[in-house]
Structure 1
Amino acid sequence: MRLADFIEQNTKRILEEWVQFAEKSCAAGGQMDIAALRDHAVAMLKTIVEDLRTPQTDAEQVAKSKGEAETPAGAEDTAAEVHGAGRAQSGFTVGEMVSEYRALRASVIRLWTEDSGSLTGADLEDLMRFNETIDQALAESTERFTEDIDRSREIFVGILGHDLRSPLSAIIAASDFILQTPKATEKHVALTTTTLRSARRMNDMVSVLLDFTVGRLGSGLSIDARPADLKAIVCDVVQEVSVANPGRQIQFSESGDLNAVVDTGRIAQVLTNLINNAVQYGTPKDVIGVSALGEEAEVFIRVHNRGTPIPAAEIGGIFSPFKRLSAPKTAESVS
């Protein structure tokens, strides 16, 4: 019996094994009912049957085996794509979803060979086509699964950033009130001023976080560029980091015209990150140097420290989120 005919006539047997595997081997599967576990398996098996019965070129065969088969523009989501989205929503890991496909492949081949007894030349061709179709379906499911998980994470980050604004607003309002109190001591004023500045910086960072999330979701990142004195911005950041790290020496030097048209919040965030990195990864006993040089059409800001350098091979990954790079020895570092 040709494989397409076998799958069509034994869909129930195949689905029973699919459900048993998902229920026992996947953490999320143990909490789902039979209908949810079967998900879109019936539609995927029908797609496999149709594919096995459809002639294909050599180029199409290679593309499918690599999970690169083209989808017509404007076409509806495939059963595999819908399955990937469903598994992401149900709490499966990508590894568990891949294991489902591995189990499906093994179940179909085992049941078919048991019924057939032996494979002929045409059967081997069906087997190759079946593996190609499974590979394509797995690629489609994995891509959709990953996209949906990434999107949900970005939405979560956006919600978190939005919710952080309320406590930050309370800190800013309380700090403003303390600064307006006539009996506040000089020390209280200094500490409250730093608290207020840090809270406003955090508020700006939350805004950037929300902007980043919106940009990742497709709306683009906004820039609020306006004339500003970069000397004042750098001084504020240096003071903020110095207060937070009283044991470290940070020296600022400047020359030339430091007026520029910039997004002050984003510039301050970049400087804060660079100087904090210098504090965290630099040699503790050495001075961290921050310099600003204004030229005719540009302003150059540098953060200099001694510390463990980033290997040349890893420079390309320094802006990857949440990635910590390795390094072999201590030397000078300039940002």
Structure 2
Amino acid sequence: MTRLADFILANREPILAEWEAFARTCAPAGGTMAIAALRDHADAMLSAIAADLTTAQTRLAQSEKSKGRAHGAAPDVSTAAGEHGAGRAASGFTVEQMVAEYRALRASVIRLWTRAEGALGSDDVDDLTRFNEAIDQSLAESVAQYDEGMERAKETFLAVLGHDLRTPLAAIYSSATFMLETGELDEPYRTLMTRIAGSAKRTVTMVGDLLDFTRSRLGGGIPVVRVDMNLAKVVHDVVDEISAAHPGCRIRVDTRGEQRGDWDAARLSQALGNLIGNAVQHGAEGTTVTVDISGDPTHVTIAVHNRGALIPSAQLDGLFNPMKTRRSTRPAVPGGPTGSLGLGLYIAERIVTAHHGAIAVESDEAAGTTFTVSLPRHEARVGRRPVRTSAHDLS
């Protein structure tokens, strides 16, 4: 009786021929691919499966593999199955088509083997069990790399799209601003041009958020350029800008201790603008947003506090995840912080992290909501400390 591992190695060509024939039916991607592309890594995968079948396996290892926790190559070492998944993602296969390839491979091997061998013995049943485990493991590796490849492709596309949109948007904004500054536009043209400039500015901001999002997701992180600066001045500038966009809101800034340090002023302005704008957006009508800045010998802490509807506890853990949003307690204001993609808190967290700082949030009905940022003054002192700021301390 031929063991299944030996059968696979001795019958590669008929197995690969059936794999190729099935892959060609996976339209539209498979219909125009060459033979080498259709058989992508299949030969190496068969070798890996056969090697797995002949490798001694304990009951514990078998149990772990059945749960998707097989011990094999290190996470950063590519496998034939993983490379196959990445290749199928790049070739335009859907994940359903790639999974169907494995179903067809499983069926082909079992059909060809049983046809050649006839009745199966007890050893053959063990081989079938091991074979199914090996196929499942290969499929898991392929799906993991397929998903990673698709995510990277989508994020790269967004990055390219955002980059290419910047130039025409900047031209629209600068042209509209120039026409407004001439003072030669009469109504209703001045009002219309003001709307064009405001919409273009908000869109430029959203494109910037999109680029920061994709940069951080693609592994580069958000770059910061540190220079000696006064953090209180940045906060006051941000508050002035937000107050101008929201004449009815009240924002109070309190400072204590030394405010200087080595940070990226533009990036911190972006992060604090997101946090303070978020507090204005979600604060209850008629209440005051407070920004408390305090310095100690090694760190500066900024606490942004507002009163309004609390953030549900179920949302707190994932609040800094991309696209995580919560309902505002007041209507959207044209030109205000609602003109975004919902990435503000995520980008703020990434900027703080790039400064080796920490950000935290606390929210309850009685005290309100407080976002607290802790920043080390200098780059050399990168030790992070936990931030636990009570909203009661700022009320």
TM normalised by structure 2 equals 0.65
Query: Is residue 122 of structure 2 the alignment partner of residue 141 of structure 1?
Result: no
Alignment partner of 1:295 is 2:294: yes
* Counterpart-to-counterpart distance in 2, 1:123 and 1:181: 86
The answer to whether residue 159 in structure 2 is matched with residue 158 in structure 1 is yes
Whether the 8 Å contact between 1:290 and 1:301 is mirrored in structure 2 is no
Q: Following superposition of structure 1 onto structure 2, how do residues 229-244 of structure 1 map, counting pairs within 5 Å?
A: 229=233, 230-240=235-245, 242=246
Q: Which residue pairs with 2:314 in the alignment?
A: 313
When residues 299 and 238 of structure 1 are mapped into structure 2, their CA distance, relative to the original with a 3 A threshold, is farther
Q: 1:188 to 1:334 in 2, by over 3 A?
A: farther
SS in 1 for 2:308: strand
Residue 230 of structure 2 is matched in structure 1 by 227
* 8 Å contact from structure 1 (residues 67, 135) kept in 2: no
Change (3 A) 1:13 1:63: same
Cα 1:193–1:318 shift into 2, 3 Å: same
User: Which one is further off, 181-190 or 36-45?
Assistant: 181-190
Contact residue 250 and residue 288 of structure 2 kept, 8 A? yes
Residue aligning to 2:129: 128
Cα displacement string for residues 156-193 of structure 1 (whole angstroms, at most 9, x for unaligned residues): 22212221221232134325523542556899999989
**Counterpart for residue 79 of structure 1:** 80
**1:11-48: CA deviations, max 9, x gaps?**
34433443454444665434545543332222211222
CA deviation digits over 1:116-161, x for unaligned, max 9? Answer: 3332221122122212322321232222222222222232222122
Equivalent AA in structure 1 for residue 249 of structure 2: I
> Alpha-carbon deviation of 1:84?
1.0
Assess, with a 3 A threshold, how the Cα gap between structure 1 residues 282 and 252 changes in structure 2: closer, same or farther: closer
The verdict on how the C-alpha distance between 1:95 and 1:267 changes in structure 2, with shifts beyond 3 A counting, is farther
Aligned residue runs from structure 1 range 237-276, under 5 A: 237-240=242-245, 242=246, 249-256=248-255, 263-274=264-275
Identity of matched residues, %: 43
Q: Distance in 2 between matches of 1:179 and 1:325?
A: 36
**Contact (CA 8 Å) 2:292, 2:303: kept in 1 or not?**
yes
Question: Which SS does the other structure have where 2:72 is aligned?
Answer: coil
SS where residue 306 of structure 1 aligns? Answer: coil
Using the alignment, how far apart are the partners of 2:85 and 2:109 within structure 1? 20
Contact 2:173–2:200 (Cα < 8 Å) also in 1: yes
Q: 1:106 Cα deviation (Å)?
A: 3.3
CA 1:8/1:252 → structure 2, altered by over 3 Å: closer, same or farther?
Answer: same
1:69 maps to 2:41: no
- What SS does structure 2 have at the residue aligned with 1:158? helix
Aligned position for 2:15: 14
Q: Where does 1:50-129 land on structure 2 (aligned, <5 Å)?
A: 50-56=51-57, 61-62=62-63, 64-65=65-66, 66-71=68-73, 77-129=78-130
Aligned AA (2:289)? V
Structure 2: state its 5+ residue gaps.
328-363, 371-395
Aligned-residue offset at 1:88: 0.6
- More divergent stretch after superposition (269-278 vs 213-222): 269-278
Task: Report if aligned partners of 2:173, 2:197 keep a CA contact under 8 Å in 1.
Answer: yes
Q: What are the ranges of 5 or more consecutive residues in structure 1 without an aligned counterpart?
A: 244-248
The letter of the residue matching 1:109 is I
Q: 1:294/1:41 Cα in 2 relative to 1: closer, same or farther (>3 Å)?
A: closer
Structure with the largest fraction of helix: 1
How many residues align structurally? 322
TM-score by length of 1: 0.74
The 8 Å contact of residues 87 and 97 in structure 1, kept in 2 or not, is answered as yes
Which deviates more from structure 2 when the two are superposed, residues 224-233 or residues 61-70? 61-70
Distance of aligned partners of 1:277 and 1:19 in 2 relative to their CA distance in 1, 3 Å threshold: farther
